[in-house]
Amino acid sequence: MTNRRFGTANKFGTSNQFGVSTATSPRLKFALEFDWDNNHEFDGFNDATSRLLSWTQRRGREFFFNSGGDGFQAVNEGEMTFTLKNTDRRFDPYYSAGSIFAGLQKNILCRFMALDESTATLYPEFFGYVTDVRPKYGGLDVTEIVVQDGVKKLKDKNISSSSVYAGNQYDQQIVTALSVAGWVDGYNVDETLSDTMPYHWFNGSPAFNELMALVQATFGLFFVDKQGIAVYKSRISSDISVMDLTEADIEYDYGIQAPSPREVVRNSIKVYARARSAQAGVELWRLVDVPLLAGGTGSPIWATYSYNGEEVPVTSVTEPVASTDFTAHQNADGSGTNYTANISWTRTGFATSSKLVPTNSGPDAYLTLMKLRGTAIAADQYTYATATDDESIGVYGERELVINSDWLQSFNTAQEQADLLIDRFASLRFFPRIKVKKSSLDKIFAPDLFDLVSVNFSTKGVTGEMRIGFMEKSWNSNSPDSVECVYYFEPNLTISSSGVWIFPVTLPATLG
C-alpha cells in the first residue's frame, strides 16, 4: 500500500524550476502528482511540479480539549493548498478545451513528496483527494488546488448497521466502521487495548463521527497519516520517540509559545456511562395509521424500533404472525370481512429499523393492526462519575471536562477515567508551540502527526516526550530551500504496562 503511494523518487521535475540557488542550505525539491485520468493509480506523469509557486499545509487539532469542555477535540481534515502557474489555462476548470479538464471536475487522488538532495532523503508528505480548484486571473494567472485527506471522505459518508454487534473490542469496531464506509486507503489500527463493549451499532451518522464516539470512549487517537492511511492509537501505545528537539532547533523570533492556562486546566471532571441490556419479547413498533392495501405488492412501510419511548437497536425480530402481529379487514374500523389470511410480508431488517413490504393476494383491505416484536437493547438512564479538585478550582475557577460517549458502558470504568483525568489536568501543564528553523528539513519533513518527540527546552525547564498535535507548514518559490513549520505539542496521554499514566511535562516555576 505504501509503495503504491510513495515508492518512487523520480518525479521531481528539473532542478532549474527554482532558478539558480546560491543558498548554503540543503537543496529542496518536490514532486506533486495528480491522478488526472481517475484510475486510482499514479502512472509517473507529472505536469504540476514545475509550475508550483507555493503551498500551505494544516493538519491535526489546534486544541487538546473542545472549547466548551465537551471532550477531546477531534482532528480536522488535513489540507494542502497548492498554487500553480496557469498562463496556458491547463489547470483552469472553466477551460473545457484543456487536456485535463475532466480531471479538474473530480475528487481525484493527489500525492506530494519532498526530496532533500543533500542527503538523498525522500519524504512522503501528503496523500489525499482534490476537493476544490480555484482559478485566479490577473497579472499572473494561477490556480489554487485544494487537497484534503481521507478525514473529509469519512465526514461525507454516513454508515449504518444491518445488525447489532455483541462483545466486540473497540479496535474491531474501528476496523468495521472503516470497512462499512468503503475505506480503501489502508489502515493501521492498534490492537493493544482489549476493552470490549457489550453492544455496539452504527447510527447512520457520518463515519468520522461514529469513529470519534469510539475513540472518545477509549481516550485513543484517530487520524489519517501523511501517506493517507487511517491510524488508531490506543491509550496503551508502544510507539517510541522519532525525533529530538532542543531550543537550537527553534526559530528565535517565534520562540516557545503556550496557550492560556484556561485552555489546558480541567478541574471538574464528569464521565458518562450508559449500561445496556437485552429485553426479550417486547413490542418494538406499532403502526398507528390504518392504510388501505390494494391487491398485489404494496409500498414499503418503514418501522423504527423503540422501547420505553426511546429509539433502540434489536438483536432479533419475530417475523410477523397473522392475527397476532397484523390483521386486515374490509373496513377501516375492523368491521366486515376479515382479510388477514390474504396478507403476507417481506421484511428486511437493520439494527434500528425494518423495511416491510406487504403483498395482498385478495381484494382491497384495510391494515387494521401491524406491529413488530423482538429483543431490544435497552439503555439505562445516563449515569456519570465525577472528580473535582477544590484547590485548582480556587486558583483557576471551575474548568469542566465532560466525556460523553454512548460506547462507555461501565460505571466503574467511567470512575477510573474521571480519577485519572483529574490527576493529570487539575494542575497547570505546558503545551508548547514552536517554529522549527526553516533549513532543518529533517525536523520539518520526518515526523508525522501525533508522533512522539523528545523535547528539551532547557531554559524553560520543559523536558519529556510529547506528541505533535498540530502542524502548519508553508513554502514559497521565492525561498526555495526553506519551509515555515510550526508544531503544537500536546501530552503523551499514554498508560504504561503498570497502569501509570505517562505525562512528564509540567509547567516549571521559572515560567511564572
Tell me the per-residue pLDDT of 388-399, one tens digit each, with 9 for 90 and over. 999 999 999 999
Tell me the per-residue pLDDT of 312-354, one tens digit each, with 9 for 90 and over. 999 999 999 999 999 999 999 999 999 999 999 999 999 999 9
**What local confidence, expressed as pLDDT, does residue 194 receive?**
65
pLDDT at 162 over 90: no
Residues 440-464 have a mean pLDDT of: 90
Q: Specify which residues 129 forms β-bridges with.
A: 109, 148
**What local confidence, expressed as pLDDT, does residue 140 receive?**
85
H-helix segments, 298-385: none
**Could you tell me the three cell numbers for 365?**
383491505
In this structure, of 73-82, 243-252, 254-263, 292-301, the range with the lowest mean pLDDT score is: 254-263
Give Cα 446 to chain centroid, integer Å. Answer: 23
Task: Give Cβ neighbours of residue 490 (< 8 Å, ≥ 6 apart).
Answer: 64, 431, 466, 467, 469
pLDDT band at 193 (very low <50, low <70, confident <90, very high): low
Cβ atoms < 10 Å from Cβ of 481: 21
**What local confidence, expressed as pLDDT, does residue 130 receive?**
96
**What local confidence, expressed as pLDDT, does residue 494 receive?**
64
Tell the residue number behind the cell numbers 493501521, with chain if given. Answer: 188
Higher pLDDT among residues 229 and 196, named by residue: 229
CA distance 342 to 344: 7
By CB neighbour count within 10 A (0-12 exposed, 13-18 middle, 19+ buried), where does 290 fall? middle
CB 85 within 8 A of CB 101: no
Residues 214-242 have a mean pLDDT of: 89
By CB neighbour count within 10 A (0-12 exposed, 13-18 middle, 19+ buried), where does 310 fall? exposed
pLDDT at 8 over 80: no
CB 269 within 8 A of CB 250: no
Residues 250-263 have a mean pLDDT of: 85
3-state secondary structure labels for all residues of 386-435:
EEECHHHHHHHCCCEEEECCCCCCCHHHHHHHHHHHHHHHCCCCCCCEEE
pLDDT at 280 over 90: yes
Share of the chain above pLDDT 90, in %: 65
**What local confidence, expressed as pLDDT, does residue 420 receive?**
87
pTM of the predicted structure, to 2 decimals: 0.86
**What local confidence, expressed as pLDDT, does residue 512 receive?**
34
pLDDT at 12 over 80: no
pLDDT at 4 over 50: no
* Mean pLDDT computed over every residue of the chain: 88
Residue 117 three-state SS:
coil
